[in-house]
Structure 1
Amino acid sequence: MRTIGNIIWFLCGGLIMGLTWWLVGMIAFLTIIGIPWGRACFVIGDFSFFPFGREAITRSELDQYDVGTGVLGVLGNILWLLIAGIWLAIGHLLLAIVCFLLIIAIPFGIQHLKLAGLALAPIGKTIIDSQYARAIREEAVQFPDTD
């Protein structure tokens, strides 16, 4: 089912947005200082091509000792938002609207909205398998931090 969803997704905007993420990544690499953002663009671009079966989570969900992105991460996300994030988010929002109008493609519209949120602040996020993410969340519920 995941494969069928990814194939239909690819045709309902995944190809367009994946290539857009990669284009922004190439531009970021040209600036040298943007290499970390460019690398993230290629990872998220791959995720944009075939998102079903994977999800974006914060690194602090993955590692209980991670304290978050910190001040530099927040500044990096703000800089990203102003330069490229808003445009990528708008692209995902427009495709989400089209999917919602088609009614049958509503699940794809929801996925575009998730990617739009990721486009606004990608620093501090990682892409992992959905089953692994579910296992991490279940473990966190079963064994709450007692500190």
Structure 2
Amino acid sequence: MSALSLVGNILFFIFGGFVTVLLWFIGGLVALITVVGAPLFRLCMNNAKMALAPFGKDVVKLSDLKRAKGEDQHHAGLKGIGVAFNIIWFFTFGMMLFITHVISGIALFIPIFTIPFGLQHFKLAVTGLFPAGRRVVTISEANVIHEELAKIKLNINK
């Protein structure tokens, strides 16, 4: 992690990141208590780490990750259980996290020097709604994935 990302992550924590980390953690604990929602716990903890330090990280779809790596996509992304998890999450903690990230993002757009922190909240808002089928990766990994997907779409051989 670069020094600039470290400073950004510390400031993000101060400018509302601690609230969203707490919400992700509570959502994960509630999911862990239920037998059905236990797999959501891991997703919640990964997203809590992302909310704790979002600079230098990005979120990609699992299907895009598998496609970029050239892996079989039969089980990638959202099949039945992933869709069910996202529906359960949406009605329990998803909407609350989404609204929290959006309000925080809008509020951080008011002073010009906090706009980068607002952008991070908007990045986290979509993941807050539907966490299943998404993975947290570094920015460099996300760039490689996007490049590989572009090559696949344009039929460019390696």
CA contact (8 A) 2:37 2:85 kept: no
Using the size of structure 1 for normalisation, the TM-score is 0.90
Length, aligned pairs only:
146
How far did residue 135 of structure 1 move? 1.2
Residue among 115, 126, 134 paired with 2:143: 134
User: Are 2:121 and 1:107 equivalent residues in the alignment?
Assistant: no
The answer for the alignment partner of 2:95 in structure 1 is 86
Structure 1: runs of 5+ lacking an equivalent: none
The aligned runs of 1:1-147 (5 Å cut-off) are 1-64=4-67, 65-67=72-74, 68-144=77-153
Q: Which runs of 5+ in 2 are unaligned?
A: none
Tell me the CA shift for residue 119 of structure 1: 0.7
The one-letter code of the counterpart of 1:110 is: L
Name the CA distance, whole Å, in 1 between partners of 2:145 and 2:15: 30
Secondary structure of the corresponding residue to residue 63 of structure 1: helix
Supply the distance in 1 between the matched residues of 2:110 and 2:73 (Cα, whole angstroms): 40
Percent identical among aligned pairs is: 34
CA RMSD of aligned residues (A): 1.6
**1:17–1:48 CA contact under 8 A, matched in 2:** yes
Three-state SS of the structure 2 residue aligned to 1:126 is strand
TM-score under structure 2 length normalisation: 0.85
CA distance in structure 1 between the partners assigned to 2:113 and 2:102 by the alignment: 17
Contact 2:28 2:41 survives alignment (8 Å): yes
Paired residue secondary structure (1:69)? coil
Alpha-carbon displacement from aligned partner over 1:111-143 (angstroms, at most 9, x marks no partner): 111111111111100001110110121122234
